[in-house]
Amino acid sequence: MVGAAVGSAGCVVGGDDESASPSPTGSASPTAAPSRLVLEAADAADAAAEAPLTVYPNALQHWLRRAASTDETVRGHADSGVHTPEPVVPQFETVRLASAGGSVDGTYDLSAEGGTRYELLVGADPADPPAGTTVTPVESLPERRREFARSAISAERATVYPETALGEWVRHELFGGYFEHDGETYRGTEVQQTDAAFFSTEAWYVLSLSPGTAEDPVVLRFPDPGAAATDAIDAALSGIDDGTRRTTYDGGLSDAIVQFASETTYLLTHDRVWGVSLE
């Protein structure tokens, strides 16, 4: 920006008369209109305490609305655009859905899990459980779990995605649990796979919401950004990685983009919260 112009004082010397020429009045240049949409990574907890978070991914909006309108657990997965995403939403305990539409607006207690989605490879190792530890007979399990546990014990290829109902049981009970099969005791474990998670850009979620009364919930907004703002945000987020702290869209700002940015303090994506500004 060009600063204010500075005038210089002049003087005329002659005879007994001296007079100073008037100094021109300085004037600031007009403020330049913003030309760039800026997204800067923010701490999720700090951002949530300061202002509402605008939920950006359509899939995440849908899952939250669905979880608010049903007693069922909602399970889903979506591409995040970055490798090894760790979803933000599971950090929150209570949320208030604002402008989500219809009767789902309100405050909820949130139960959420999430992580990088890849196919878990499951095994089981012989184990000697501590005294007093519960050992579950494999034959007592429901059929789907029973067959899966047998495959894991026999070193067959037992695989499962983490957000499925079976995957939830594997993560919470088979991993680290003790199971008896043919007189032997086994402990479920994940078989490490080289780079299985590293190359994944998908995030998985397991969500449920129940009516709550918390006084300071995280406020989640569900506005429709419109096509122009969506294109600008998508362009800014394309090509980022998990270390990106700032990204911009320099393709020109329409009135719709400016309006969306003026109404949005923070943007919630699958893996992080972004502060929104124009410059």
CB atoms within 10 A of CB 122: 25
Strand order in the sheet with 120-126: 135-137, 178-181, 184-190, 120-126, 158-160
Cα dihedral across residues 70, 72, 73, 78: positive or negative: negative
> What is the percentage of the chain residues whose pLDDT exceeds 90?
82
Q: Given a cut of 50, is residue 9 above it in pLDDT?
A: no
195 — pLDDT class (breaks 50, 70, 90) = confident
**In a 10 Å sphere around its CB, with 0-12 CB exposed, 13-18 middle and 19+ buried, how is residue 87 labelled?**
buried
Give the predicted TM-score (pTM) of the model.
Answer: 0.85
Is residue 172 a contact partner of residue 113, using CB atoms and an 8 Å limit? no
- Kindly calculate the radius of gyration of the chain based on its CA atoms and give it in whole angstroms: 29
Nearest to 218 by CA among 15, 65, 54: 54
Give me the pLDDT at residue 196, please. Answer: 85
Q: Given a cut of 60, is residue 257 above it in pLDDT?
A: yes
Tens digits of per-residue pLDDT, 89-99? 999 999 999 98
Tens digits of per-residue pLDDT, 130-186? 999 999 999 999 999 999 999 999 999 999 999 999 999 999 999 999 999 999 999
Give me the pLDDT at residue 13, please. Answer: 36
Specify which residues 137 forms β-bridges with. 180
Tens digits of per-residue pLDDT, 223-254? 999 999 999 999 999 989 989 999 999 999 99
7 — pLDDT class (breaks 50, 70, 90) = very low
Mean pLDDT of the chain: 90
Is residue 181 a contact partner of residue 153, using CB atoms and an 8 Å limit? yes
> Both tokens of residue 102?
């219809």
Give me the pLDDT at residue 263, please. Answer: 97
DSSP the chain: ----------EEEETTEEEEPPPPPP-PPPPPPP--EEEEEE-HHHHHHHS-EEE--HHHHHHHHHHHH-SSPEEEEEE-SSSS---SGGG-SEEEEES--GGG-EEEEEEEEEEE---EEEEEEE--PPTT--EEEGGGS-HHHHHHHHHHHTT--EEE-TTSHHHHHIIIIIBT-EEEETTEEEEEEEPP-TTTTTT--EEEEEEEEEE---SSPEEEE----HHHHHHHHHHHHTT--TT--EEEE-S---HHHHHHHHH-SEEE-SS-EEEEEE-
Q: Residue 25 and residue 279: Cα distance in Å, rounded?
A: 29
Is residue 121 a contact partner of residue 203, using CB atoms and an 8 Å limit? no
Q: Residue 241 and residue 253: Cα distance in Å, rounded?
A: 24
Give me the pLDDT at residue 125, please. Answer: 97
Tens digits of per-residue pLDDT, 78-120? 999 999 999 999 999 999 999 877 789 999 999 999 999 999 9
